[in-house]
Structures are given as structure tokens and as C-alpha cells.
Chains A and B, each alone.
Chain A
Amino acid sequence: MPEYITKSFSPRFSFPQDPTAAHYMFHDDPYLMPKNSATARLFSLSKESGRNAAKYIIKEFPHFFDKILAEPNIPSLMPEICTPQIEGVSEEALRERINLRMVKASVDLFDQLLQAGTSISLETTNSLLDLLCFYGDGESTQEKESEEKEDLEESEVNASEQETPKRPPQRGSHPFASRWRENNNAERIFKIMPERNAHSYCTMIRGMVKHGASAKAYDMYTELLNDRHKADVHTFNALITAVPFLKDRFLERWELIKMFLNHMAQQEVQPNVQTFNAVLKTLRRCGGVGRSMAVPVIKEMEALEIEPSLATYDHLLSIFYRSADLASSGIISEVLDDVEKRSFTPQDPDDAKFFISAMQVCCDLKDIKLAYRLNKAVEKGDNWKFLDMDRLNSYWSRFFSLLCMMEQIDVVLKWYKEMSPSLFYPSPKNILDFLQALDAANHLEMIPSVWEDMKQLGFSKRRDLLEEVLSLMSRDQHPEEIQLAFAKCAEDIKTVHEQSGRDQASVEWTGSALGSVTVLFSRAGRTQDAWSMMERFQQINRIPTDLVMDEFLNCAKQTNSPDEAIKLVKLAASLGLPSSQKLKSRVEKEFKLSENQKKALESIQSDSDSSDSDSDSDRD
């Protein structure tokens, strides 16, 4: 089909999306249908990992694949040629190796050429420097590996996966400071170059910043000035991002930024949007100075008619909303005003962070209206594309937490139904928030269905969630049918505690969980189940609370089972509980006991006499 036809089919809203369906990429294989965010992440990579495996095989065993001709030939289905075609020692061969990004081979060849006395053109040397600086030299193979992988993956996979190997070195932050080694090949070649132009200096500076050698980069910049060259805009951008590592005090940092900007103006270098993003990114680490200087920077952008990218706004939000000081709520609505007016194309690698941090700010401000506005902005145009799988998940989970906190319960329920599996997989915290929202709105009867979802999401072994569910269910008395449903739920939870999985340990009982389950069974009139839970108290050396025992006694009374009641008194006595006396008298009063039972009850009394005095003194 022609593309324009398929395109006209495809927009998101011409197909009403099925909110219960997983993402399209999971449709291939029912076995790889994710249930929670962890599996979703894993399975989303499955296709790509298969592709990589195939490529690895082709690379390792090329002799098995000698028939690689096709008519018509489809390059994207063909293995890439990674071996150099030009043999021998020549500048041509060097250039080919540089293009194939073979770091080590290029350096070797360069040295050979040098030894043979061949002069190498400035252009070729510069591109060799580019290569060395980009990969930080040295760890070329590993770097290259991941880099190559990236090239291959580029075709489809979501962005996050690609970026993970690459992000850390790009930040040029301290943990990676050691990556630029003293006198590495790049520095060596730079030194022996007969002539250097601005490009040689610039690429060195960029490489040093990228690989964490900020101080060296600054020195290199002074050398460049001494040689009367001009830096390019990318070099300035790199230098500005390196500022936090050059100066410690906030004001000094800002002075340095200003110096670089002034140099740009002097050297007639026009700044671009990345320049200002770099400035703002550095201002993020300048505390109060950042807060006061951010607005002038934005104004400067406006004056130069440079449209801010999403990263610009992201940095702004982080400058103004970093601390818990949330009084400056005006900024975010102004930012949203701007964002709503435009549609965005990616311009900066940090662009993708905007929507998440904006939602975080909405959460911090507890401003549901802002959050709705932001969500509108996400849906507008192609903005949704900025949220890849991981980001989508954290974005929605923040949004959902905010909804739970601030919205009416029916609205929350509507959102929950619409977004649960198709847009994101709730985190344990989301479920906790949801439970609390249900509690606040007095909709506890929903809990069994939430429990089902929890099982689906694989949270059935999260102790905090189990405790919350149980305590909510056991807190109040409900109508009978709800109690029955709760008891069923409690039974489920009981099996979670008791099943001994082959691969993972079962959840340990806690006193309160046991108590709640017992109460739930008792309220549903399941005396036997409740009693088996009571016995468990003794097994794990916990003590049931008075409430639990009272509930159990009520249940025994309702189902007319005095035996259980006597057993309870026995249990209480054997645990030496002070309440055993009270229970005993209750049993005597409220139950019709046979002679034998009466005797049994009497005998308990004599047993517990000694402990009685103990407990009395305890109470005093």
C-alpha cells in the first residue's frame, strides 16, 4: 500500500485503542505477553535481542553464509561489511579504516605510514582525531562493540535501550573522569601533528569533555586561543557543560559561563539551542545563582529568536523546583503555556526528560489541573513520541499517584481502567496509593478486584501491599457478601503465605497479617479456617490481639461451636495472655456447654492460675 494510505490509517485516534491490550510489539507471541513493568521492559527487547543474536552468528561464522545475493537486493536485510577492502599501507586504506570506525587498526596504520615517512593530509589526520576523541581511545573494542550494536539497533528499538550504554560517558561526569588517559593516542597524534587547524583543537576539546577530562579541555581551549584559532559552537557547548567540574563556587561557575558566552560573541560564533540548554544545564548546579540567572538566559534566547526545546523547559523546571520550596508555581504554568502553543521536534538529547519532570513537579505541587494540562500537551501532535516505554511508565505512574491523591474516586477508577495495561503497568506504590484512595472514598468493596490485579501484576508477594490489603479489609465490619468476598481474598493471601515455591521462598507470616486473616475468616463465619489460623499463631510464636480473639469467639458463637471456643481459651491460657480470664468468663456465659466441656474449661482455669498472678503483677 502506498505510504500515504497507510499513514492515513494509522493515527492513534482513528483506531480506538483497546485499553486492555498490551502494546503492539508484544502481539507477536502470546508467551511474551508482559504482566508488569519489569517483564514489559524485558520482552520489548526480545525482538531486538533475537536480531542481534542473528547478526552475531553471521559475524562469527561468515563462511556459512556465502550466498548473500538477492534479487532485488534489500540492504537492510543484508549483513554489513565490516572488513576493510583496501589492503596495504596507504592513506586510502587509513581513510577506509577510519570510516569503518576501527580505532586500533587506524592508529596502527597511521603509525606505519608515519614510520614509512609518508605525509598524511591534515584532513585525514583530523578525521582520525575525531574518531579517537569520540571513542576516548583505548577501550576501543568494547566501545566499538556497543557502538556497533547501537548502529544495528537503531532500526527499531525504543530509545532508552540504546542510550543506556552511551549516556554515562556523555555526561562526562566524575565517575568517568579516568576515561581520558594521560598521553593517549589522541594526545600523542595531536602533539606530533606538523600543523593543526581549529578543527583539531575543537575535536580534542570535545573529546576531553566527553570523557571527563574537563580541566584538560580548558587548557586545550587556552592553547587554541594562543594559536589564534576560533572554536566552533559545538566546542563551546561542550565547554559550558564542563563548567561545573572546573569551578566549585556557584558564582565562579556563572562567571565562567559568561566568559565563554562573551568569547563566542567575540569570535562571532552564533549560539544555537544546545548552547542555551548547556548553559541552563550548568545553572542547574548553581543553586541560587541559577535561579536568578535562568530568566535572563531565557530572555536572551527570545531576543535571538531561538526557539526553546523541551530540554530547555526541563532544565528550567529543575532549576526552580529542585528544593521543596514550591512557592514559585508561576513558572510551570508559564512553561505549560509555551509548550501548549507549539509542537516539538527533538533537538537535544535531554528533550525526552521534560514530560516526566513536569509531571513530577505537578505531583510535588499537588496540582491536578496542571497535570491535566500537561497530559493534554503530551497527547498533542507527536509529543507522545518523547515518552519511550520506560519514561511512559514513570510518567503515568506519577500521574496516577497524583490522581489517587487528589481526584474523586470514580474519576480515579475511570483512569485506572483506561490506562492500566495499555499505557503503563502500575508500580507497587501506585497500588498502595490506589488502595488509600479507595479507603478515603469508602469503596473498600473494590479490594478483591484490586487484589486480582495485584496477582496479575506479580505483586502478591509484596509484604507492604499484603499488609495494607489485609488491614483495610479487616478494619471494619461490612455487609455479609462483602465479608464473604474478603474471606475468599484472605484465603488467597493465605495460600500465598503457605505455598512453598520451588524457586522462591514463600512469604513469612507476620502477627498482624495472621490476625487480619483470622478476623476475616471469623467475620465470614468460617470457623474451621479461622481456627487453623489461630493455631498458626502458636507455631510462629506470635500473640493474637484481643480483637482477633473476640472476633473469633463471636464467630464460634454464631456457628454454635463451643469446642472451638474452649480451644481458644486453652490457647490463650497456654500463651499466658492476661485476657484468657475474660475469654473464659465469656465462654461460660455465652455458650451452652456440655458437662465434658465445662470440665475442660475448669481444667484450663487451674492451669493458668500461676500465670494469672504474673499477668496481674505485669499490669500493675
Chain B
Amino acid sequence: MWRFTAFEALLGPEDYNPDVTLPVHSSGAGRNAVARNARRSSRSRPAALKGRRGCERRAEGAMWGRLCGSGRILLLAGAARHCGRPHRTQKLFSTSSVLSATEDEPTAPTDSTTKVASKEGAAETPKQKLLKMIGDMKVEVTTKRKFQQLKEQEIKKQATNKQEGLHGGSSTFQNSAEDVQRSKPLNPELVQAASAVASSFPHNKEQAESELLAQLRRHEETTDKQRRGGTINICNVISEMTVKRQSPAQRGVRISNRISLEMDEDGQRIKPGRPSSHSDSGRSLKAGKRLNIFTKASPETENALKTVSSPTIWDLEFAKEIAAVTEQPPRNGFEEMIQWTKEGILWEFPIDNEAGMDDGAEFHEHIFLEKHLKDFPKQGPIRHFMELVICGLSKNPYLSVKQKIEHIEWFRNYFEEKKEFLQEI
């Protein structure tokens, strides 16, 4: 079982260095992060390769932030299987400083062997490869001839691997690669059995097929890698994911954008398997129909609806809450002064000696009080006296206009009352 992951694919097999611990960027790696990873690995390349440890770390490589989930489970499963193998192989695996190319086929379950995937060029980028892989899977399901052809090839390989397993120790890279290419015996029984399996599932046909596919891709991957010296195929991970997509338990798994599934929170799929870019391209705020529930109110009715009522505690508190949204502490001294002025803590400018005397009267009402003497005699001692009174009042800053007028009123009433006596005199 090969335990290469996509991170290697991005770096290319030569760049691969298992000794590097990679930070997991859970939100997917940005441009810089990729650059960084690449640099890191190339810098510390000379460090010794340590097979087992490296493999484990690779499984958690940074690029897998997105494609986590079943991909990792699969790798772990591989590891578990690995443990059950003969002691000797394990040892070889752990100590070998070459790219550890231990075969895992003998222990792999044989029931699901059916066919081989198409042959991609090594030059394709992993992403293209991935997409193509998914596309191929769907096509292959329908074209039966190709299906069987591929199947046969796969069987050949498997048999080879079996042979190797019997041989026991051929663990170095070249040996196994050569072995694969040399002898490929056929096993027609297996072919038939597998195709029967594939076609005999009435409901889960698709699932069964892709499961088989997944298995086959792993084999194909093995041979491919051996041939090219370790390019990887991440399709094993992907195909595993596609198989499981029907179970609601998989909801949490966030697969990369292209194959992400539109899942309703109810657990029902809305658009199974459709690429989401297609469904969302039409979504825009500009296009679309309105609800057509309300009709626009004419201004008259709007005004009519506005009933004048005293604000309730709800209104007051809502206003307060809204005001709090944009409330900011002053950012400089001037703003603070503005605020203080509003609160009445600072004097209003320009300075005004009537500040705080809020009786609503202008200065001339305080000073020119003659107009209040209309009811008094035009001349004589009373007039003279009253003129002195208003003179005094106009200079008095402590009384309000109203008080001054009341004062004058009082004298008017007084003289009115004493009118008789005065006339006597």
C-alpha cells in the first residue's frame, strides 16, 4: 500500500521530504503558505529520510486541511492493514531509507477487483487529474467494454502482486516495478465475479461500482507510481468520498469547492452532485421576483397611519439601543468639547452673561421698562417716582422680566387704591 498524499503531488516526488513537519492551515493554504511550504521542504531536503515517521506526517500534510475526513480514514486504514503484515516487511519498511515501496497488495481484499482507470499523463496537474478522474468514473460506469478491458489489466497487475507476495522480500523500488511490468497472468474468474458483483446491485449500483473503482484506482496508482517513481494519485481519497456522500453522517466533511455537496440542514440533499458553481451563478440580488405581499402605501395613508401617541418604554429603549450602535467616545479634544457643550458642562460660546438665565427674555425687555408706565399719570410726583423705580429695576440683574413687571403692577394697584386720598391732597 502506498502512502503518498497529494502534498507530494504538488511538490513533485523529488521535492518530497518526510522529515518536515507541516503546519496545518485548516482554512486552506493561501498563496504565501504554499510558497512557504515549498521553501521549507526544499531547504531542509538533506535531512535523512525516515520512512515510517515520514509517512505518518505526510498523512497530515498541510494540503489536507480541506480534503480531510474520509481521505485520512483511508490512510489510517492502510496503516492498520500494514500492521497485520509479517514482521519482516515491517522492519524493512521502517529502516529502508529509500522511498519505502512496500507492497500491500497481498493483504488487500480481492473481492473488489474489476478494472483499471484510464491512463493520465504525468504532466497533468493534480487538480486537473482529480477532475478528470471524477469525470472518468462516471463515463466508465456506462461504457462496458472499456470497463472490462480495464478490468483485465487490473487483474493482471493484481496477480503480479500476488506472486510478489509469495516471493516475500522484493521490497526495493526497482525490483517491484520491474516485476509488475514483466509478468501479468490473467484471472478470468475474478473478472467475471467482479462484473457480476457490479451489475447485481439493484439499488446501490452506483455505490458498489464506485467502491470497486476506488479499490482499482488504488492498484492502478500503485503501478503508476512504481513506473514513474512515485507520482501520486489522490483519487483513492476522492473516490472514497464520493462513495460516502449519501450518508447524512458525512455532512460535516467539507470537501473542496468543486465537489462540495449542497446539503440542507435538514439532511436532505438539494442538488446531489451538481457542481455548485452552476447553481450559484444565477444567484444575484439584481435578478429575481419580489414576494408581492405588500403594496406601496400612498403618502396620504402613510400620514394617516401615523397616530400621535406618547412614546412607550419600548420606543424609548429602542431609540437608545439604536443610538448606542454608533456611539463612539470622542477621538480628540475638540470632539470632547463638543460633547461637553451639548451636555451643558461647558459654556456656550460666544460667552453670554445671560447663560443659565433661561426666562426667554431679551435684554431690552429688562432695560426699557417705560412701556409699562402707560397707566400712570404723564407727569407729577407719581410719574417721577415710577421713573425712578424703573430706573432701578432696569439695573437689577437678579429679577426676571416677569418679576419686574409684577413689581410695577404692584405700584399701579397701590396708587389705584390710594387714588382717593391722593386726590384729596
A and B: partners? yes
Give residues in A with beta carbon < 8 Å to B. Answer: 1-3, 6-7, 9-10, 12, 15, 23-25, 44, 71-77, 101, 127, 130-131, 134, 150, 154-159, 162-163, 166, 203, 206, 234, 249-250, 258, 261-262, 264-265, 268, 270-271, 287-288, 291, 295-300, 302-305, 316, 320, 324-328, 330-331, 334-335, 338, 345-349, 351-352, 364, 366, 382, 384-386, 388, 404-406, 436-437, 439-442, 475-476, 619-620
| B264: A residues at CB distance < 8 A | 250, 287-288
Enumerate chain B residues within 8 angstroms of A268, measured Cβ to Cβ. Answer: 301, 305
Q: Do A295 and B324 touch (CB < 8 A)?
A: no
* CB–CB B332/A406 < 8 A: no
List, sorted by A's number, 12 A–B pairs whose CB atoms are closer than 8 Å.
A24-B330, A76-B345, A156-B339, A159-B324, A264-B294, A270-B302, A299-B290, A324-B260, A346-B325, A349-B321, A385-B327, A406-B31
Q: CA separation between A361 and B337, bound complex, in Å? A: 38
B323-345 contacts to A, CB under 8 A, are: 323-339, 341-345
Among A10, A265, A298, the most chain B Cβ lie within 10 Å of the Cβ of: A10
B110 is an interface residue with CB less than 8 A from chain A: no
Determine whether the beta carbon of A304 is less than 8 Å from that of B294. yes
- In the bound complex, residues from chain A placing their C-beta under 8 Å from that of B305 are 268, 270
List B contacts of A382 (CB < 8 A): 326
Interface locus among B150-158, B222-230, B278-286, B387-395: B278-286
Give the chain A neighbours of B296 by CB distance below 8 A. 303-305
Whether B332 pairs with A265 at a CB distance below 8 angstroms is: no
- The stretch from B135-143, B178-186, B191-199, B312-320 touching chain A is B312-320
Contact of A288 among B44, B270, B327 (CB under 8 A): B270
Candidates B312, B313, B314, B332; contact of A24 at CB < 8 Å: B332
B355 at the interface (CB under 8 A from A): yes
- In the complex, which of the residues A10, A73, A258, A619 contacts B335, with contact meaning CB atoms closer than 8 Å? A10
- In the complex, what distance in Å separates the CA atom of A472 from the CA atom of B292? 61
B109 within 8 A of A: no
| Contact, CB under 8 Å: B355 / A388 | no
Residue in A270, A328, A346 whose beta carbon sits within 8 Å of that of B280 in the complex? A328
* Partner-A contacts on B (CB < 8 A): 23, 27-28, 30-33, 35-36, 39-40, 43-44, 91, 95, 254, 257, 260, 262, 264-266, 270, 276-277, 280-281, 283-297, 301-302, 305, 312-314, 317, 320-339, 341-345, 349-350, 355-357
B328 — which chain A residues lie within 8 A by C-beta?
158, 384-385, 388
Q: Give A316 to B265 CA distance when docked, in angstroms.
A: 18
**With A385-B326, A406-B32 as given contacts, are A261 and B294 in contact (CB-CB < 8 Å)?**
yes
Q: Are B285 and A295 in contact (CB-based, < 8 A)?
A: yes
CA of A352 to CA of B325, assembled, Å: 6
Q: Are A203 and B314 in contact (CB under 8 A)?
A: yes
Determine if A131 and B30 form an interchain contact, defined as CB atoms under 8 angstroms apart.
no
CA distance A427 to B260 in the complex (A): 32
> How distant is B332 from chain A, measured CB to nearest CB, in Å?
5
Whether the Cβ atoms of A72 and B356 lie closer than 8 Å is: yes
User: Could you tell me the distance in whole angstroms from the C-beta of B353 to the nearest C-beta in chain A?
Assistant: 11
Whether the pair A406, B30 counts as a contact (CB closer than 8 A) is: yes
List the 9 closest A-B pairs by CB distance, nearest first.
A72-B356, A299-B290, A405-B30, A440-B32, A287-B265, A385-B326, A346-B325, A328-B280, A295-B288
Name B302's closest neighbour in chain A (CB-CB): A270
Q: Give A209 to B26 CA distance when docked, in angstroms.
A: 39
Given the known interface contacts A2-B349, A74-B344, the answer about A298 and B329 at a Cβ–Cβ threshold of 8 Å is no
Roughly how many angstroms separate A206 CA and B318 CA in the complex, as a whole number? 12
If the complex has contacts A295-B285, A299-B291, A303-B296, are A25 and B314 also in contact, measured as CB distance less than 8 A? no
Closest residue of chain A to B341 (Cβ to Cβ) is A3
**Once the chains bind, are A475 and B44 in contact (CB under 8 Å)?**
yes
CB neighbours of B337 from chain A (8 A):
1, 6
Cα separation A163 to B326 with both chains bound (whole Å): 12
Closest Cβ–Cβ distance, residue B291 to chain A (whole Å): 4
Could you say which of A159, A264, A331, A476 contacts B284, with CB atoms under 8 Å apart?
A: A331
- Check A71–B35 contact: CB distance below 8 A: no
A437 — which chain B residues lie within 8 A by C-beta?
32
Docked Cα-Cα span, A298 to B36, in Å, equals 43
CA A475 to CA B28, docked complex, whole Å: 24
The answer to whether A296 and B290 have CB atoms under 8 Å apart is yes
Chain B residues with CB under 8 A of A23: 329, 331
Q: Which residues of B contact A12 (CB under 8 A)?
A: 331
Closest chain-B Cβ to A101's Cβ sits at a distance in Å of 7
Could you tell me if A325 and B276 are in contact, using CB atoms closer than 8 angstroms?
A: yes
With A331-B283, A346-B325 in contact, is A265–B295 under 8 Å at CB?
yes
Chain A contacts for B40, CB-based, 8 A: 475
Residues of chain B within 8 A (CB-CB) of A338 are: 285
Chain B's nearest CB lies how many Å from the CB of A447? 15
Whether A130 and B314, one on each chain, are in contact in the complex, defined by CB atoms closer than 8 angstroms, is yes
Contact indicator A75/B291 (Cβ below 8 Å)? no
Instruction: Determine the distance from Cα of A258 to Cα of B39 in the docked complex, in whole angstroms.
Output: 57
Q: When chains A and B are docked, how far (Å) is the Cα of A76 from the Cα of B346?
A: 11
Pick from B43, B257, B266, B293: contact of A265, CB under 8 Å: B293
Complex Cα gap A328–B281 (Å)? 7
Contacts of B336 in A (CB 8 A): 24
Residue of A nearest to B331 (CB): A24
B326 near A386 with CB under 8 A, answer yes
Interface centre among A2, A44, A159, A298 (most CB of B within 10 A): A159
The CA of A157 and the CA of B44, in the complex, are separated in Å by 53
CA distance A405 to B295 in the complex (A): 48
Asked if residues A349 and B322 are in contact (CB atoms below 8 Å), the reply is yes
Task: Tell me whether B302 and A327 are in contact (CB under 8 A).
Answer: no
Interchain CA distance A3-B23 in the complex, whole Å: 56
Nearest Cβ on chain B to A363's Cβ, whole angstroms = 8
Find chain B residues with CB under 8 A from A134 CB: 313-314, 317
CB of B338, distance to nearest CB on chain A (Å): 5
Contact A330 B284 (CB under 8 A): yes
Q: Does the CB pair A348–B294 fall under 8 Å?
A: no
**Contacting pair A327 B350 (CB below 8 A):** no
Residues of B within 8 A of A476 (CB): 43
Known interface pairs A261-B293, A300-B291. Does A71 touch B324 (Cβ–Cβ under 8 Å)? no
Task: Select B327's contact among A72, A73, A159, A271, beta carbons within 8 Å.
Answer: A159
> Which B residues are CB-close (under 8 A) to A74?
343-345
Asked if B329 and A158 sit within 8 Å, CB to CB, the answer is yes
Given contacts A72-B355, A325-B262, A334-B285, contact A6 B334 (CB under 8 A): yes
Measured between C-beta atoms, what is the minimum distance from B93 to chain A in Å?
14
Query: When the two chains form their complex, are residues B324 and A154 in contact, meaning their CB atoms are under 8 A apart?
Result: yes
Find out whether the CB atom of A296 lies under 8 angstroms from the CB atom of B288: yes
A299 and B289 in contact, given A72-B356, A265-B295 (Cβ under 8 angstroms): yes
Chain A residues whose CB sits within 8 angstroms of the CB of B293 once the complex forms: 258, 261-262, 264-265, 300
A127 to B294, CA, bound (A): 31
Q: Are B36 and A436 in contact (CB under 8 A)?
A: yes
Contact B312 A203 (CB under 8 A): yes
Q: Are A73 and B356 in contact (CB under 8 A)?
A: yes
With most chain B CB atoms within 10 A of its CB, the pick from A7, A261, A320, A436 is: A436
Q: Which of B264, B293, B297 has the most CB of A within 10 A?
A: B293
Choose among A203, A271, A304, A338 the residue with the greatest number of B CB atoms under 10 Å from its CB.
A304
Q: Which of B32, B270, B317, B337 gathers most chain A CB within 10 Å?
A: B32
A72 to B353, CA, bound (A): 11
Q: A327 to B277, Cβ gap below 8 A?
A: yes
Residues of A contacting B313 in the complex (Cβ-Cβ under 8 angstroms): 101, 127, 130-131, 134
A312 to chain B, nearest CB (A): 11
- Checking A6, A404, A439 against B338 with a beta-carbon cut-off of 8 angstroms, the contacting residue is A6
Q: Please, which residues of chain A bring their CB within 8 A of the CB of B30?
A: 366, 405-406
Complex Cα distance A131/B313, Å? Answer: 7
Cα-based distance from A23 to B43 in the complex (angstroms)? 44
Most chain A Cβ neighbours within 10 Å, of B30, B39, B305, B356 = B30
Instruction: Name the B residues within 8 Å of A250 (CB-CB).
Output: 264-266
Tell me the complex Cα distance, A439–B22, Å. 14
Q: How far is the CA of A44 from the CA of B312 in the complex (A)?
A: 32
Which B residues are CB-close (under 8 A) to A162?
A: 324
Q: Is A364's CB under 8 angstroms from B27's CB?
A: yes
A327: B residues at CB distance < 8 A:
257, 276-277, 280-281
